[in-house]
């Protein structure tokens, strides 16, 4: 397959991580229907196997497994001393970008941006080729979410990591997800304010589909566009949930049509067919239709259209 890079708006309804050193899991990931695949060099890889994972990822990036989907690598953060080792080995033109873990502040993004610029120059590819998903996993990161999102034009998404966050605050998962509600909301707001994609934390109770549905309902209320999935078995459910359904789309179109009637009547707001028609509801409807359009463009690209 000839590699072709997607250059449209970033879509990440389902973000699937897989350990970079495990060929079996890597093959399963690429056999899945995930929107985005992340090859992991950090937590999922034991220290003794980091180099093996780097070599394995390089092999994957030059294999027929690579298709038209965006592929990222989660590198090791600066404090480990492995970041440049990771970049020197796995940076490749067929890589869409990197997930930067343990992001703390804007400075992390600025330093990493500079490293990527140098790597692009050495590889002979255009500046800005590599994108960044900033993984926010600490209280400091949550409080700095907006400045992180706007520190580099490479940042395409903010991703929440709840397990490290709870470990940092010495908290735990509580009923109804209440212990992570505030950081989820803060990340979504920061991402929206910065114009990047908010991606939710994974639901850690694998196999609990009803719990997963409740988790996604909360995420949708908070404005998330996708989530990190723990298993390929979750992908179909999650992808469908984060894709606007016909009822939502028809309602959005109707709101826009009714708004035109309201405007012709020289009114700013109205209630028609049981729906509140106002500038905010019209704006939300237009955004929903725009999101569906970018999903359609993305899926057409994946299908070779």
Q: Write 60-66 long-range contacts (CB < 8 A, 24+).
A: 60/20, 60/26, 61/90, 61/92, 61/94, 61/95, 62/92, 62/94, 64/1, 65/26, 65/27, 65/30, 66/1, 66/3, 66/30, 66/94
Alpha carbon of 59 to those of 17, 53, 145: distances in Å?
17, 10, 34
Residue 277 · residue 259 · CB < 8 Å: yes
Tell whether 79 is in a known binding site.
no
How far is residue 305 CA from its own chain's centroid?
Answer: 24
Tell whether 54 is in a known binding site.
no
Tell whether 137 is in a known binding site.
yes
Rounded Cα distance between 300 and 305, Å, is 5
Rounded Cα distance between 199 and 78, Å, is 23
Annotated binding-site ranges? 74, 137, 164
Q: Which residues are annotated as a binding site for Mg(2+)?
A: 137, 164
Residues making up the binding site for substrate: 74, 137
């Amino acid at each position: 397959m000839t590699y072709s890079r997607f250059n449209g708006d970033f879509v990440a309804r389902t973000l699937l991580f897989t350990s970079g050193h495990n060929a079996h899991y890597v093959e399963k990931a690429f056999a899945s229907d995930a929107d985005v695949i992340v090859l992991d060099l950090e937590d999922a890889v034991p220290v003794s196997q980091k180099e093996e994972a780097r070599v394995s990822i390089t092999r994957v990036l030059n294999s027929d497994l690579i298709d038209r989907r965006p592929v990222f690598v989660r590198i090791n953060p600066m404090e480990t001393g492995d970041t440049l080792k990771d970049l020197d080995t796995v940076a490749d033109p067929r890589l869409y970008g990197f997930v930067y873990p343990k992001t703390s502040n804007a400075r992390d993004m600025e330093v990493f941006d500079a490293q990527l610029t140098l790597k692009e120059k050495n590889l002979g590819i255009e500046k800005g080729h590599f994108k960044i998903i900033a993984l926010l996993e600490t209280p400091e990161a949550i409080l700095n979410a907006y400045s992180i999102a706007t520190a580099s034009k490479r940042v395409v998404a903010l991703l929440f990591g709840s397990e490290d966050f709870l470990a940092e605050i010495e908290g735990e998962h509580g009923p109804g997800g209440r212990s992570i509600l505030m950081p989820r909301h803060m990340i979504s707001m920061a991402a929206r304010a910065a114009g990047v994609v908010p991606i939710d934390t994974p639901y850690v109770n694998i196999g609990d589909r009803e719990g997963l549905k409740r988790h996604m309902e909360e995420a949708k209320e908070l404005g998330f566009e996708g989530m990190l999935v723990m298993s390929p078995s979750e992908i179909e459910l999650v992808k469908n949930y984060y894709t606007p359904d016909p009822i939502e789309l028809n309602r959005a179109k109707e709101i826009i049509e009714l708004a035109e009637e309201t405007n012709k009547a020289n009114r700013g707001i109205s209630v028609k067919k049981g729906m509140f028609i106002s500038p905010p509801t019209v704006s939300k409807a237009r955004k929903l239709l725009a999101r569906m359009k970018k999903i359609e463009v993305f899926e057409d690209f994946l299908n070779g259209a």
